[in-house]
Each structure stands twice: as C-alpha cells, then as structure tokens.
Amino acid sequence: MVENTKIYTSNILFKKQKVNMKEKIAFILIYAVAFLTIVALLSIIGYVLINGVKYLNVEFFIQEPKSMGREGGIFSIIIGSIYLTFVSIGIATPIGVCAAIYLTEYAKENKLVKLIRFGTEILAGIPSIIFGLFGFVFFVILLGFRWSILSGGLTLAMMILPTIIRSTEEAIKMVPTSFREGSLALGATKWQTIIKIVIPSSISGIVTGIILGIGRAIGETAAVILTAGSSLGVPSSILDPTRTMSVHVYLLASEGLSKEKTFATASVLIILVLCINFLSNVVGNQFMKNTKVS
C-alpha cells in the first residue's frame, strides 16, 4: 500500500516536471522572438539615425535643395511630403469611413456587398507600382492633372482606402448592439445613432486606420514618382508637382548623389513618422477620454 502511493506521487512529480520544461521552452522561444523583433526595429532605426542625425542642422530644414540634392536642405521636400499626405488622407478618410458605415450599418449581405468586400481586399493586395501606372495614365494624362500633388494624392488615396475601410469596419462592428438599441429606443434615428453613438465609440479604431494610411502614404515611392513627379521646388498649389522624402531618399541613393544627405533625409522621415504616430495616439486618446473607464 505504502509502496503504491510512493510510485503514484513520483509519477505525478515526473509529469509535472515535463510540463514545466515544455512551458519553459515555449516561454524562452516567445521571449526570443519578441526580442528579435525589437532588435530588428531598433537596429534599423538606430542605423539610419546614427548615420543621419549628425548631418541634421537648422539649415538642412530651412534650405531648399541645391544641385539635385547634393547640397542644401530639404525644406521643399518636407513641405511636399506633408502636403501630399494631407491631400491623400483628406480624400481617403471621408470616402473610407462612409464606405465602412455603408457596409456595416446599411448594406444587407448580398452579392453587391460581397463584391465590394472582395474589391477592397484585391485593392489592398495590388502592388503600388500598378497604382502608380494607373494614376499616371488616368489622373496625370487622361484627366490632365499632370504630375501634381492632386494626381499623387488621388493615387495614394486609392492605395490607403482599403486600410481605412477595413479598420473602420472592424471598429464599428465592435460597438455593442446594446448601444444602438439604447439610442434608437430614445427615439433617435438611425443616422443620429451612427453619428452620435457608433462613430464616437469606434473613433480609436478609425484613427488607427488613418495612422496606418499615413504610414503607407508617407513611405510610398514608386506610385508617387509616377504621379506627383520629382520636382525640387516648393509647391505653391495642389496642381504643382512635388517630391516627397521617400522619393528624395530613393533618388539620392539610386543616383549616388550624396550619402550624407540620403541618411539625413531618411532620419527626418523616420522621426516624422514617429511623430505622426505619437500625435495620432494623443489625438485618439483625447477622443477616448470620455469613453473609457478611468
């Protein structure tokens, strides 16, 4: 009897140890992968910043580029990047949010809706150079917008539309039905319910979609060269061509014009992207202020 219990307990202990080993290995693996991700991120950002930040000074920000970017700063390029991003986001956000509202709140599950969903997925998967070609043929030539911020903005808007639609849709779906019922039961119309209850409750998801869109727009090169051109001047209107930072980095690097200006521009680009993310988070949190349990 005593013998039996002994064997029994030792068996349990043995098993337990095995489970612990498995768990430990899984733990180590997960930590290692997480660590690798962070290392990859930090080394890319670090490498660019270490090579670029030392060339940053006030002149670099306020001077216009000289001799194709070999000398001078990137003032006009910063302006062009911001201008183009704002135009594309300005076009894509209202369209994307409205499309998502239609898909989630109004559309019944039918063939048309399936087609729209399928279409947005396809749109998300198309290589950017194809968008560039389309934008070039359609906006630049056919509609006669030429190489301009407008052509580039419209092209980029099409590219980031799926991101905004998808994240808005997901955010809207997360709003509990009970919120909608509560609003409708007070006599609100469907539209009032969407505008005053559904959208404010899903604003953080929508903002996330816009951030991702900005990220994609500001990092895009191929489609921008084909539609917004690569002019070095400060754009004075939406119909002027421009050059974005990504395009500038690409051209400087591929034509071997100046290593130091390449890294300096890349540093500014990275810092700007980080700032946009940070700012959007602040804005998102501001919207969320009243909506979260404190």
Burial 244-269 (b: 16+ CB within 10 A, else e): bbbbbbbbbbeeebbeebbbbbbbbb
Query: Residue 174 gets which letter from DSSP?
Result: T
Q: Is 256 left (phi over 0), alpha (psi -120 to 50) or beta?
A: left
- Cα-atom radius of gyration of the chain, to the nearest Å? 26
| Residue 286 near another protein by CB under 8 A | no
What part of residues 136-195 is at the interface with another protein (CB under 8 A)?
Answer: 176, 178-179, 181-189, 192
Instruction: Determine which helix (DSSP H) or strand (DSSP E) holds 232, and give its type and residue range.
Output: none
Name the minimum Å distance from CB 25 to another protein: 41
Name the minimum Å distance from CB 293 to another protein: 5
Name the minimum Å distance from CB 288 to another protein: 9
Nearer residue to another protein within complex by CB, 116 or 184: 184
| Residue 294 near another protein by CB under 8 A | yes
DSSP-based three-state secondary structure for 245: helix
If one counts every other C-beta atom within 10 angstroms of the C-beta of residue 97, the result is 21
What part of residues 192-221 is at the interface with another protein (CB under 8 A)?
Answer: 192, 196-197, 200-201
Nearer residue to another protein within complex by CB, 193 or 267: 193
Burial class (CB in 10 A: 0-12, 13-18, 19+), 20: exposed
Name the minimum Å distance from CB 123 to another protein: 30
| Residue 55 near another protein by CB under 8 A | no
Nearer residue to another protein within complex by CB, 201 or 258: 201
Name the minimum Å distance from CB 202 to another protein: 10
End-to-end Cα, the chain, rounded Å: 59
Nearer residue to another protein within complex by CB, 7 or 186: 186
Nearer residue to another protein within complex by CB, 202 or 230: 202
Alpha helical stretches, state H, the chain: 2-52, 58-62, 75-101, 111-125, 128-135, 149-173, 177-185, 190-193, 199-201, 203-219, 222-228, 245-254, 259-288
Burial class (CB in 10 A: 0-12, 13-18, 19+), 22: exposed
Nearer residue to another protein within complex by CB, 177 or 237: 177
Nearer residue to another protein within complex by CB, 108 or 111: 108
CA dist 23 and 182 (Å) reads 46
Name the minimum Å distance from CB 289 to another protein: 9
Name the minimum Å distance from CB 290 to another protein: 5
Name the minimum Å distance from CB 99 to another protein: 22
Nearer residue to another protein within complex by CB, 84 or 207: 207
Residues in touch with another protein (CB under 8 A): 176, 178-179, 181-189, 192, 196-197, 200-201, 290-294
